[in-house]
């Protein structure tokens, strides 16, 4: 029997996939415009984004709006930290492979690695979010494990964790487990919202 979260995941996946390519591109563009004008983006030097799959909002155009000195990174499933992520700098020379989920990710070059703690801004994919900043991902816990250190102290402000999604992915409320790392902000096709500091 499906749990409520499994049902919600299925519904939102279907809703994303039902969007036409033009709709996806248009709404992604609106969300990117809001994000690239925001203080977290303009003030960040080391920025992690992701390559979209299965109808996700597409942040891959963000580097076009980058300022001098900004560097962009993509997540890679870590070989050494169970269910965690490492981040590899993305540039024209980056080569890719498919990971275990058939998602393209950079081939690791150790000279291009950046730890999660050294990032300034992380643009995160999600399936759902709520007005308190709770995030529902795909269920693997990779981002939660990678940024669990932010939960240990209110003094740890970086990196800023910013979700990016379609506005229809907002739900009234999501359950939050002790290990769930909340978002600091969300950018959608209709608004950019900062969440109160809740740890």
Could you give all domains of the chain from N- to C-terminal order, each with its CATH number? 4-194 (3.40.50.10420)
For residues 87 and 77, the answer to whether their CB atoms sit within 8 Å is: no
- Assess whether pLDDT exceeds 80 at residue 60: yes
For residues 44 and 73, the answer to whether their CB atoms sit within 8 Å is: no
Per-residue confidence (pLDDT) for residue 197, from 0 to 100: 61
- Assess whether pLDDT exceeds 50 at residue 18: yes
Q: Tokens 């981040």 sit at which residue?
A: 87
Instruction: Indicate the pTM of the whole model.
Output: 0.92
pLDDT in tens, 114-131: 999 999 999 999 999 999
Select from 183, 180, 181 the least CA-distant residue to 195.
183
- Assess whether pLDDT exceeds 50 at residue 98: yes
Q: Phi/psi class of residue 173: alpha, beta or left (left: φ > 0; alpha: ψ in -120 to 50)?
A: beta
Structure tokens at 140: 């693997």
Cβ neighbours, 10 Å, residue 195: 19
* pLDDT average, residue stretch 54-78: 92
């Amino acid at each position: 029997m499906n749990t409520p979260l499994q049902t919600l995941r299925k519904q939102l996946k279907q809703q994303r996939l039902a969007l036409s390519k033009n709709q996806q591109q248009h709404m992604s563009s609106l969300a990117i415009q809001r994000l690239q004008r925001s203080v977290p983006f303009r003030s960040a030097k080391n920025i992690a984004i992701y390559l979209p799959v299965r109808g996700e909002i597409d942040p891959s155009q963000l580097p076009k709006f980058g300022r001098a000195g900004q560097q962009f990174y993509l997540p890679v499933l870590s070989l050494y930290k169970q269910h965690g992520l490492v981040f590899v700098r993305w540039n024209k020379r980056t080569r890719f492979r498919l990971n275990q989920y058939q998602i393209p990710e950079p081939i690791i070059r150790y000279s291009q690695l950046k730890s999660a703690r050294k990032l300034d801004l992380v643009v995160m994919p999600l399936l759902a979010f709520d007005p308190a900043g709770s995030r529902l991902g795909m269920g693997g816990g990779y981002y939660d494990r990678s940024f669990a250190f932010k939960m240990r102290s209110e003094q740890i402000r970086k990196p800023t964790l910013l979700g990016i999604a379609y506005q229809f992915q907002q739900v009234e409320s999501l359950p939050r487990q002790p290990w769930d790392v909340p978002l600091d902000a969300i950018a959608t096709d209709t608004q950019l919202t900062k969440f109160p500091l809740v740890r």
